[in-house]
Amino acid sequence: MKTVITITLALTAWLVTAPLAQAEPTGLEIMQAVDNREDGDDLKQTMTQTLIDRNGNERVRHMVSFRKDYGKDKKMITFFTEPSNIRDTALLTFDYDDPDKDDDQWLYLPALKKVRRISAADRGDYFMGTDFTFEDMKQTPELDDYHWKLLGSETIAGQDCWKVEGTPVSDEVMQDLGYSRMVQYVRKDNDFTVRVDYWDRAGRELKHLKIEKLEKIQGIWSPLKIVMTNVQTNHRTVLEFADQQYNTGLKDRLFTQRMLKRGYRE
């Protein structure tokens, strides 16, 4: 009799706690998992950027980029290496985890020999004629800029994904970023965002980002091809990544305005 009672109590406890154990994460929890995903202590990579207009005309650019983590903060610098008319153009980003501290970005234009600081109000400006804004170039949105809501699940390219909606926390943020809404599709198996849909300030469909190639490099999930398509202009930007090297011990002096103006030299 004691055995029967024990089994009954154990089963009752399991039935009570099972719904809690199986509860879906919130939209914010999913996006926090994306933000905290393992991406190495630092990264060096080359990039090919292809701009394609509505008529199929292409412009191809080559870049090299570097990223280094400082605790929960990140510093990133990207240099254009080709073609010659934009060589040494560079973007430096300090991405701070503290929500009360604005991120810092600087763009160096060698033709003007001038460093331009990107203000918070300019984060929604498009970067060098691409379909990516300065904010998009950081790859992961500032979580505190949005209210996050889990909309459900959806299969993307054969992968089970969370569907998470982000809406700006204020009209000011919406004006700064240029988006009234975004929907992120996050793979459940690796916390990687594989698609993002964007709507403009007026609530119209604006553009789509798709990760078309994703592989593990040194045990870290890494995008090899990203396509951003603006459905309003029929323009798209293709980013292809190669030569990824993680955890090489990048020097702090690389992530400075001095290096921004000096340019990349192998």
Whole-angstrom distance, CA of residue 22 vs CA of residue 225:
34
Q: Considering the domain 26-261 in this protein, what is its CATH number?
A: 2.50.20.10
Whole-angstrom distance, CA of residue 259 vs CA of residue 74:
17
pLDDT at 9: 45
β-strand partners of 209:
196, 228
Give the angle 234-210-145 at the CA atoms, nearest 5°.
95
**Tokens 């080559």 appear where?**
62
47-48-49-55 Cα dihedral, nearest 10 degrees? -160
pLDDT at 22: 64
Whole-angstrom distance, CA of residue 126 vs CA of residue 258:
24
Domain boundaries, the chain: 26-261
Whole-angstrom distance, CA of residue 176 vs CA of residue 135:
10
Counting as low any pLDDT under 70, the low residues of the chain are 1-22
pLDDT at 264: 86
Over its C-alpha atoms, the chain yields an Rg (Å, rounded) of 21
Whole-angstrom distance, CA of residue 39 vs CA of residue 46:
16
pLDDT at 154: 98
Q: Which residues contact 178 (CB under 8 A, 6 or more apart)?
A: 124, 133, 200, 201
pLDDT at 20: 41
Q: Identify the CA nearest to 13 among candidates 24, 1, 21, 2.
A: 21
Query: What pTM, to 2 d.p., does this model score?
Result: 0.88
pLDDT at 14: 47
